[in-house]
A and B are shown apart, each in its own frame.
Chain A
């Protein structure tokens, strides 16, 4: 793996200081001791401004260009500048796992955050929802970025951006349950299905002895069922699409009158949507697990007496409820404690 300084292109060194490096090793040891199983974690130390920029890109500094990231950046920057919120950490589901830390945070915070990161990383590696996600997403995103930039050079920034706007407005119309439910057989692109109309229609025939068959499976009933199924089949073949489709983006890629580059852009958006979806789906469990892990590691092993107050302050800030708003950290943590 190449030095990631070139990835971020910051004018300063983003690798951990020797002090933090030692802490990382310590925390990693505790994490293994508690039986966590994770990808290698690469920590990057970033200035607030750079961290905000990376966060605006969803953690991928190499992402494709789009104004909405600029908007996200402004919001993050303002809330940070006005002291309303700050980002402690940002973890990327990737192998190796990338985790960004804020340079200006103090040592206890970095400890807490590192422990938290190992929780996330264990979760990414082992949770079923993440099983299908691309673990080389860092490269994939850079690849997407390069492709979209190339289209911008070729077809014009405005045109590509206008199309991106449209894609992004429907980016969540994917089949988020596709991990568990296979609704459609994966088919080869040029595999034209033999017209089903010629096939015999299967009817419900109970197993029985031959002499009982006319009574158990009466001929007229079978005929009626066959007739009904034929009608259904005919009606269905007139439908378009034949089956209702949850994955709207897939449907559009298949059937919409798009130019090749547009189809590719839509594919990129769809791929990234599938990559990010489990993070939203498992938010509560994921944050709960990471919080459970950091509180266990910190209180049982890592915490020094002088750090207790700071730790308590920040931990309680993390799990505090704000009025009617759901705090995923809090809920997830309580669920895990209950188990």
Chain B
């Protein structure tokens, strides 16, 4: 008989095998398209609490289809492997369409998986959380039994069993009328144990220059960088908090939305942001308990007299408190970009300082790699 059970794998395992295979293909696709996802910022806004949904072209097996009459054939020219063929897109003639063709499959992967893919693709070393910064939280779990407790926690099965046993032994069990009446001694209650859970916690401080010289394109670059940095760091810690600081000549702490949507017209004093970050760390995130990450994005245009102050805050305070300090300089059509050269002086002194220059979107990947390549 064909259905012999010994050699055949269990069906659940079988579908699991095909499912894993499918996930592997999905992973491979994401990996090979990662640089595209990164530079276009496609994934931002598609992120839930722990899932990201990713539009994936062409995972289905291609098949011949009937065309519509009069719609003409497929376009000529050399296609790329995996290029989707769809009806022509509207738009003006001298620009390439930017919309994908039909049959887009949205797959969901966990943030952890995405971080894994990012790590594999950019060959990032894993972050080593500092041991002493593990704080313990306790969690209660109902795993025990005891003799007393509130009725709402009574363990019905155990109580019933004990009552049954007692009645059988004492001969009060009536086979004709099998009623079980538990007495006080029969009753069993659920009880809990406290289990300590180690939890490494981290905080990321994002700082951004919102002075007049930062354009929307530059903010978009910052947003993409922040998304991936955030994804990577979140994959390594249990609880990650984010703090957003914007600054022109003065700095203030804001929420995420405001962070990306504020435009000031004032001058620039980078030290204001560093001062504020330093205060926030001291007050709310003491480095003895927290893994602190700070990233600052600017176009490098700073008010001249402010530079020594900035370097002083960094050298004597901030850099001693953070796991990693990243300075990303985006290219601005207006700014001089000179702050980059000043801060570079510190790089040789401090191992946990990374300086990255991001002239355009295509360099985002390199820059992410620079920031996260330290394994800190």
Residues on A facing B (Cβ under 8 Å): 2, 4, 6-10, 49-50, 53-54, 56-57, 61-62, 65-71, 73-74, 139, 142-143, 161, 165, 168-170, 172-173
Question: Could you say which residues of chain A place their CB within 8 Å of the CB of B5?
Answer: 6-7, 9
Q: How far is the CA of A54 from the CA of B14 in the complex (A)?
A: 10
B192 contacts chain A at the CB level, 8 A cutoff: no
Question: Could you say which residues of chain A place their CB within 8 Å of the CB of B68?
Answer: none
Q: How far is the CA of A335 from the CA of B201 in the complex (A)?
A: 66
Q: How far is the CA of A68 from the CA of B1 in the complex (A)?
A: 28
Cβ of B2 and Cβ of A65 under 8 Å apart? no
B100-158 residues with Cβ-Cβ distance < 8 A to A are: none
B17-25, B79-87, B175-183, B359-367 - interface stretch: B17-25
**Candidates A2, A56, A143; contact of B15 at CB < 8 Å:** A56
Known: A50-B11, A170-B63. A74 touches B1 (CB 8 A): no
Known: A6-B3, A142-B2. A69 touches B11 (CB 8 A): no
Q: Which residue of A lies closest to B22 (CB)?
A: A70
Q: How far is the CA of A139 from the CA of B22 in the complex (A)?
A: 26
**Candidates B1, B8, B14, B21; contact of A67 at CB < 8 Å:** B21
Question: Could you say which residues of chain A place their CB within 8 Å of the CB of B18?
Answer: 56, 65-70, 73
Of B11, B17, B25, most buried by chain A (CB within 10 Å of CB) is: B11
**Candidates A7, A49, A74, A172; contact of B3 at CB < 8 Å:** A7
Known: A71-B22, A165-B61, A169-B62. A61 touches B14 (CB 8 A): yes
Known: A6-B4, A70-B23. A53 touches B63 (CB 8 A): no
Chain A: interface secondary structure?
A: helix
B12 contacts chain A at the CB level, 8 A cutoff: yes
B195 contacts chain A at the CB level, 8 A cutoff: no
Cβ of A9 and Cβ of B64 under 8 Å apart? no
Q: Which residue of A lies closest to B20 (CB)?
A: A70
Known: A70-B21, A70-B23, A74-B19. A2 touches B3 (CB 8 A): yes
B1-40 residues with Cβ-Cβ distance < 8 A to A are: 1-5, 8-12, 14-15, 17-25
**Candidates A67, A139, A169; contact of B25 at CB < 8 Å:** A67
Cβ of B64 and Cβ of A170 under 8 Å apart? yes
Q: Which residue of B lies closest to A54 (CB)?
A: B11
Distance to closest chain B CB from A161 (angstroms): 8
Q: How far is the CA of A173 from the CA of B25 in the complex (A)?
A: 26
- 23 interchain pairs, CB-CB under 8 A: A6-B5, A7-B3, A9-B9, A10-B12, A50-B11, A53-B14, A57-B15, A65-B21, A66-B21, A68-B18, A68-B22, A70-B19, A70-B22, A74-B22, A139-B2, A142-B2, A142-B3, A143-B2, A161-B21, A165-B61, A168-B61, A169-B62, A170-B63
Q: How far is the CA of A56 from the CA of B61 in the complex (A)?
A: 15
Question: Could you say which residues of chain A place their CB within 8 Å of the CB of B11?
Answer: 8-10, 50, 53-54, 61
Q: Which residue of A lies closest to B3 (CB)?
A: A7
Q: Which residue of B lies closest to A143 (CB)?
A: B2
Distance to closest chain B CB from A199 (angstroms): 38
B59 contacts chain A at the CB level, 8 A cutoff: yes
Question: Could you say which residues of chain A place their CB within 8 Å of the CB of B22?
Answer: 67-68, 70-71, 74
Q: Which residue of A lies closest to B24 (CB)?
A: A67
A-B complex: 7 closest residue pairs judged by Cβ atoms? A70-B18, A6-B5, A70-B22, A70-B19, A67-B21, A53-B15, A9-B10
B269-282 vs A, CB cutoff 8 Å, 1 = contact: the mask equals: 00000000000000
Question: Could you say which residues of chain A place their CB within 8 Å of the CB of B3?
Answer: 2, 4, 6-7, 62, 142
Q: How far is the CA of A62 from the CA of B9 in the complex (A)?
A: 9
Question: Could you say which residues of chain B place their CB within 8 Å of the CB of A65?
Answer: 14, 17-18, 21
Q: How far is the CA of A50 from the CA of B13 in the complex (A)?
A: 11
Q: How far is the CA of A119 from the CA of B144 in the complex (A)?
A: 54
B50-69 residues with Cβ-Cβ distance < 8 A to A are: 59, 61-64
Cβ of A2 and Cβ of B1 under 8 Å apart? yes
Distance to closest chain A CB from B3 (angstroms): 5
Distance to closest chain A CB from B342 (angstroms): 52
Cβ of A71 and Cβ of B59 under 8 Å apart? yes
Of A4, A67, A68, most buried by chain B (CB within 10 Å of CB) is: A67
Q: Which residue of B lies closest to A172 (CB)?
A: B63
Cβ of A9 and Cβ of B8 under 8 Å apart? yes
Inter-chain pairs besides A6-B4, A9-B8, A70-B19, 12 sampled, C-beta below 8 Å? A8-B11, A9-B9, A10-B11, A54-B11, A62-B8, A65-B18, A67-B18, A67-B22, A70-B23, A142-B3, A168-B61, A170-B64
Question: Could you say which residues of chain A place their CB within 8 Å of the CB of B25?
Answer: 67
Distance to closest chain B CB from A109 (angstroms): 24
